[in-house]
Structure 1
């Protein structure tokens, strides 16, 4: 994601070699789900960018700290840390 650390938004970029269904979920450092950015959404082959605005699934701003996002498609899964600084 870029920028990292971020405030108030960060962009998650990904590339797909083939058409795939993508899920991206943000978790807090304890593993609790914070925000679902994509839920099994279908994308064509190409390059994409999804923005997280530092809010949870209820639209409330989250606290400063470390978060992890997980990107999944098919059998592929990738998790990376990001830091929100307010």
Structure 2
């Protein structure tokens, strides 16, 4: 059974400060696409954190200009 949950998707600088919040809302279970304009960020390595209910995933991301 699939259930909805509060979901957040945030981008962090490598030192841990928050750079952007892309999603912060309740969503039903399913697949979603989020467009991210990184033009305000410098080239470098960032961390994105996806949280949905009790699930959390952190991954590295490179911005190259």
Q: TM-score range by the shorter chain?
A: 0.7 to 0.9
Matching of residue 50 in structure 1 with residue 29 in structure 2: no
Does the residue aligned with 2:61 lie in a helix, a strand or coil?
strand
C-alpha deviation, 1:18, in angstroms:
2.1
* TM-score, normalising length: structure 1: 0.68
Q: 1:20 matched to which residue of 2?
A: 5
Does the residue aligned with 1:52 lie in a helix, a strand or coil?
coil
Structure 2, unpaired ranges of 5+ = none
Match of 1:81 among 51, 60, 65: 60
Does the residue aligned with 2:33 lie in a helix, a strand or coil?
strand
Residues matched between the structures, number:
64
C-alpha deviation, 1:64, in angstroms:
0.2
Match of 1:32 among 3, 8, 17: 17
Structure 1, unpaired ranges of 5+ = 1-16, 56-60
Q: 1:70 matched to which residue of 2?
A: 49
CA RMSD of aligned residues (A): 1.2
- State the distance in 2 between where 1:50 and 1:18 align: 20
* TM-score, normalising length: structure 2: 0.88
